[in-house]
């Protein structure tokens, strides 16, 4: 198995760099990667301290640094240590510069500036947390998206992920013995999406959940016949109300959220083509 030390340096939070590295690494098998994460690198003194650790664990250095002096120092130090460096955003930034006819501003962390969109994302997160698990159903009409599904179909983490993208999300568990509030079926503004999964996968997830809580793993909550009945009930509810359904059995949270966003954009296209493909914030 190939082993690699991967050093990720950023002059901001490093969130973008981490996502790029994760996406790239997913294309390789049989590798053991030890990541070294270095955020907020904005001074020569900080870089000097980091270089001691980097040279102790030589590998590939990937960075997003806009300060030309710090960037040059990093590249020269790595060249002396015979370590390759990659600037993760150069190609995109240079292409944008040509397309826009502008020079880049060389401002670290500018994507995290607290503009109007930032505060709207914060509001979306607050709304989503307040409307988790069926809470405050009287305000669901204010949501952009409502996720509905049986217990343990990733409704909450998907909601939070979408909220971080600026969508106001509510979610509700579909429980056969406790029907949802009637206004769920009268919503006009939000898009209601059903989340489902295979009964076998659902039983596995629920059993692991019970074990993590030190509870008996053999209850009606994981009974195969009852779980299958739950899933059928939720699917029937979605079909009766013309809700789109996403099967999360083999999807990550990110993939489920991407599918929801695609559905949301398609709905906006049908309602108003001018708004297609735009984030609500």
Domain boundaries, the chain: 2-111, 116-275
CA atoms of 140 and 133, how far apart (whole Å): 12
Q: Which residues contact 47 (CB under 8 A, 6 or more apart)?
A: 41, 70, 73, 74, 77
Among left, alpha and beta (phi > 0; psi -120 to 50; other), residue 116 is alpha
In sequence order, which ranges of the chain are alpha helices (DSSP H)?
15-25, 44-56, 68-80, 90-100, 116-130, 155-164, 199-212, 224-240, 253-271
For domain 2-111, say whether CATH 3.40.50.1370 is its number.
yes
pLDDT for 109 equals 53
Q: Is the pTM of this model over 0.75?
A: no
∠ Cα 214 216 218 (to 5°): 145
Extract the annotated binding site: 149-156
CB 36 within 8 A of CB 53: yes
Q: Tell me if domain 2-111 and domain 116-275 are identical in fold.
A: yes
∠ Cα 118 129 147 (to 5°): 100
CB 191 within 8 A of CB 175: no
What tens-digit pLDDT sequence spans the chain (281 residues)? 778 999 999 988 888 888 888 888 888 888 899 999 999 899 999 999 999 989 999 999 999 898 989 999 999 999 999 999 999 888 877 787 788 787 766 565 555 455 677 778 889 999 999 999 999 999 999 999 999 999 999 999 999 999 988 999 999 999 999 999 999 999 999 999 999 999 999 999 999 989 888 887 778 899 999 999 999 999 999 999 999 999 999 999 999 999 999 999 999 888 865 544 556 65
pLDDT for 151 equals 94
Q: Which residues contact 231 (CB under 8 A, 6 or more apart)?
A: 150, 196, 197, 198, 199, 202
Extract the annotated binding site for ADP: 149-156
> Domain 116-275 belongs to what topology?
Rossmann fold (3.40.50)
Return the H-helix or E-strand segment holding 146: strand 145-149
pLDDT for 276 equals 47
Q: Which residues contact 2 (CB under 8 A, 6 or more apart)?
A: 30, 31, 32
């Amino acid at each position: 198995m190939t082993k690699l030390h991967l050093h990720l340096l950023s002059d901001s939070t490093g969130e973008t760099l981490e996502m790029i590295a994760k996406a790239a690494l997913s294309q390789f098998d049989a590798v053991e990667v030890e990541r070294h994460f270095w955020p907020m690198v904005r001074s020569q003194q900080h870089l000097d301290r980091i270089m001691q650790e980097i040279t102790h664990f030589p590998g590939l250095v990937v960075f997003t640094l806009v300060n030309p002096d710090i960037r040059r120092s990093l590249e020269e130090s790595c060249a002396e240590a015979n370590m390759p460096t990659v600037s993760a955003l150069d190609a995109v930034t240079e292409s944008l510069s040509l397309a826009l006819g502008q020079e880049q501003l060389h401002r670290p962390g500018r994507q995290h500036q607290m503009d109007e969109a930032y505060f709207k994302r914060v509001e979306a997160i607050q709304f989503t947390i307040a409307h988790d698990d069926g809470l405050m159903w009287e305000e669901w009409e204010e949501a952009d998206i409502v996720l509905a599904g049986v217990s343990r179909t990733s409704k909450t983490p998907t909601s939070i992920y979408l909220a971080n993208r600026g969508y106001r999300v509510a979610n509700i568990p579909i429980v056969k013995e406790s029907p949802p509030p009637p206004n769920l079926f009268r919503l006009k503004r939000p898009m209601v999406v059903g989340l489902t999964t295979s009964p076998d996968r659902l039983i596995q997830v629920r059993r692991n959940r019970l074990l993590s809580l030190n509870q008996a793993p053999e209850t009606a909550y994981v009974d195969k016949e009852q779980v299958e009945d739950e899933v059928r009930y939720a699917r029937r509810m979605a079909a009766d109300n013309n809700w789109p359904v996403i099967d999360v059995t083999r999807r990550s949270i990110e993939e489920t959220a991407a599918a929801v966003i695609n559905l949301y954009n398609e709905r906006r296209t049908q309602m108003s083509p001018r708004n297609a493909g735009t984030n609500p914030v």
